[in-house]
Structure formats: C-alpha cells, structure tokens
Amino acid sequence: MSFSALAVFCGSKPGNDPLYTQQAQQLGRLLAQHNITMVYGGGGKGLMGAVADAVMEGKGKVIGVIPEILLEWEAQHKGITELIVVPDMHVRKRKMYELCDAAVILPGGNGTLDELFEMLTWNTLNIHDKKIFVLNTNGYYQHLVEHMHMMYKQGFLYEQPELRITVVNTPEEIF
C-alpha cells in the first residue's frame, strides 16, 4: 500500500506504557523512510511530539494542524515542516482529512477517539474512503474493537468493523 500523506491521531500525553512512545517513534521513522508526509494535530508533547520528532529526525516532512485555542495549551511543535493554525477543532479535523490519503490511530484519549469515530462515520457515509489503521499497541484498543463487533452484532452498524478499519499490532504492518 502506498500513501503520500498519513494522518496520525494520538495522545498529547505519553501514556503509562513505554511501548506507546517506542511505537510512535518507530512509526515516525518509517514515515520518513518511506517519504510519507505526516499530518497531525501540531502538538509537541506526548505521543504527538514523539511521532513528529522521529519524522523530523529522519529528514521527513511533518504538517501540523492546530486550532488557535490550543496554541498555548497544547504546546505546539516548533520544529516541524509546517504548522497550520485554524479557528477551531472542527476545521482542524476537516483540514487533516483533506491533507491525508490514509490515517492511523495510536493510543490516546477522548480527542483521539473523537477523531477515529468521525473518520469512521465519514467513511461510512461516503464523505471519504480513506484507509484507517488502528495501532493496537499492547492490546490498547482490544476492548474497543470488541465493542465495535458487539455494535454490529446488535444491529447498530451497517457492516463488519473490519470493512472500515485495519487493526495492526506494530507500525511495520501498516506498510
């Protein structure tokens, strides 16, 4: 599978398992090696910063998209290729979708889940048909994937979750 730009959705915190940061850095190195532009939320800390730093260290290209309100709070990354400042979170997500041709979801919190489910919803409604990968680091998303299967079995999804998402356990599986 080849992409020119991959949106990366993940936590602005590192989480408690060191493997989260290790796999984020691994993903960043792979993006740089494959000459794939990283599109992400523009933050400089947590998993967001770890992926962006690894891409930049590998001489890759990183485009951050950050809403005005988060400029101070999210500590925008000052060492990336390009930082696009937008008015709000809705514009941020739309801009990120426009700039990428696929997305990967790393461990994260509410914002990461919001981004995952908005992409899935848009995909289901044929607003876009971008490939969505879920990086299930150390089983982080296992319960969520099981819940999505239950949603399907209970008649709330139109199709099996695997038709919209690809669950992987390592960054290499994306490539």
CB of 46 closer than 8 Å to CB of 53: no
Q: Mean per-residue pLDDT for 156-174?
A: 95
Residue among 91, 86, 156, 173 at smallest CA distance from 120: 156
131 confidence band (pLDDT: 50, 70, 90): very high
160 confidence band (pLDDT: 50, 70, 90): very high
Asked if residue 174 has pLDDT above 80, the reply is: yes
According to the model, what pLDDT value does residue 98 have? 94
1 confidence band (pLDDT: 50, 70, 90): low
> Which structural domain range is residue 24 located in?
5-174
Please state the pTM of the whole predicted model: 0.95
Phi, psi (deg, nearest 5) at residue 121: -65, -45
Which CATH number belongs to the domain containing residue 80 in this structure? 3.40.50.450
> How many separate domains does the chain show?
1
